[in-house]
Structure 1
Amino acid sequence: MMIARPRPGEAPEVMGRTSAPRSHHFRGSLGRFATGVAIVTFDGAAKRHGITVNSFMSVSMEPPLVLVSIARTAKAHDELAGRPFTVNILGAEQRQLAMHFAGRPGPEPRWVEGGTAPRLSSVLAYFECTPWAEYDGGDHTLYLGEVVDFNYRNGDALAFANSAFTTIPESQLGMEDLL
């Protein structure tokens, strides 16, 4: 491994492969990008599902489209295809809800019957979607949804960075004037 000499006040830059497996290093590198935390909810053939995700983005304003990336290993992955879904953006106080749908069950969440798909109560924001398209994404599937209903409330956002939950204060979220 080669380490470049840092300038004063800078961290050293690691060049080349590390002793950790390449996929672990790749995942760690991606983890440096802080993301919000969301739960994709939908009604499957036999039951209601929720999948915790941090791969969510807007795609288009007209028509309003969003994208979620779902691991093929997720238990409910196959049932999402072709179904309406809701992307629930979590508030900072909803860490337990994120863990519940990531495989560490806690108290049963409170559901809201959305007009298109079920959603979770008291989330920071939600986007109810009808299926638009889906794409192969290697070990994930990229699901695009057309947003048919949405809303938000005030509050701090739950975020994920460096393999840990963190909080983005609401005072840092008001960037709509900049975009």
Structure 2
Amino acid sequence: MDDRLFKTAMSKFATGVTVITTEVNGEVHGMTANAFMSVSLDPKLIVVSVAHKARMHDYLKQSDSFAVTILSEAQQHLSTYFAGKRKEDQSVAFDRFEQLPILKDAVVNIVCSQYANHVAGDHTLFIGEVSNIQLSDQAPLAYFSGKYGTVQIAE
């Protein structure tokens, strides 16, 4: 099977959109990721999958903690910015939560310490032990088949 077929098939799984942030040597770094999930309730663990070729990969390897921001439907511009798809300079204001950089006005912010990481093919799975969470009542940004969307809640 070729790479294109595999990527197309995987894009048919609707996901939320997150931005992973960390700080290394006083500099904040972030990247958009939709490869995110919860792993365990006891202990409370989440995982993000980051390509070895991504700049964020090295930053996460150097850091002992990171944050995951689940974006709201109004934050598509932040998703494209942290995915490297916006070429113009954009000033991003970070808030702090448990000493980690986070994006404000998000659906959820999760802060965690690195619990483990595992190489899986051309990615590393970074497992974080959750230390705290911020929640808001906003609709999440969705991603399906290479396009952004919104979530319709069935009643």
Q: TM-score, normalised by structure 1?
A: 0.80
Report the secondary structure of 2:55's partner residue: coil
Q: CA RMSD in A?
A: 1.6
- Residue 50 of structure 2 corresponds to residue 70 of structure 1: yes
Q: Once the 2 structures are TM-superposed, how far is the Cα of residue 83 of structure 1 from its aligned partner?
A: 2.3
Deviations 1:136-156 (Å, cap 9, x if unpaired)? 011111000000010211111
Query: Percent identity among equivalent residues?
Result: 33
The higher relative CO (CA closer than 8 Å, separation ≥ 6) is in 2
The correspondence of residues 93-132 of structure 1 with structure 2, limited to 5 A, is 93-103=74-84, 104-105=86-87, 107-132=90-115
Hey, which of these two has a bigger chunk of strand by percent?
A: 2
1:116 offset after TM fit, Å? 4.2
Q: Using a 3 Å threshold, how does the CA distance of structure 1 residues 135 and 39 change in structure 2: closer, same or farther?
A: same
Tell me the equivalent position of 1:43: 23
Gaps of 5+ in 2: none
Does the CA contact (< 8 Å) of 1:85 and 1:129 recur in 2? yes
The runs of at least 4 consecutive aligned structure 1 residues that moved more than 4 Å come to none
Q: How many residues align?
A: 152
Asked whether the 8 Å contact 1:117–1:129 carries over to 2, the reply is no
Tell me the equivalent position of 2:34: 54
**Secondary structure class of the residue paired with 1:26:** helix
How far the C-alpha of 1:76 sits from its partner, in A, is 2.2
Aligned residues of 2:71 and 2:141 also touching (Cα < 8 A): yes
Distance (whole Å) between structure 1 residues aligned to residue 93 and residue 56 of structure 2: 19
In 2, the alpha carbon distance for the partners of 1:79 and 1:86 equals 13
Identify the match of residue 131 of structure 2 among 148, 156, 160: 148
Alpha-carbon deviation of 1:57?
0.3
Does 2:15 correspond to 1:32?
Answer: no
Post-superposition offset of 1:41: 0.4
The 3-state SS of whatever aligns with 1:66 is strand
Q: Specify the SS of the correspondent of 1:113.
A: strand
Whole-angstrom distance in 1 between the partners of 2:25 and 2:3? 34
Counterpart amino acid of residue 40 in structure 1: I
Q: CA deviation at 1:126?
A: 1.0
Matched, 1:87 2:68: yes
Task: Confirm whether residue 136 of structure 1 aligns to residue 81 of structure 2.
Answer: no
CA distance in 2, matches of 1:158, 1:126: 14
How does the TM-score come out when normalised to structure 2?
Answer: 0.92
Determine which structure has more spread, i.e. the larger CA radius of gyration: 1
Per-residue displacement from partner, 1:20-66 (whole Å, max 9, x unpaired)? Answer: xx101100001100010000000023521001000000001111100
SS at match of 1:28: helix
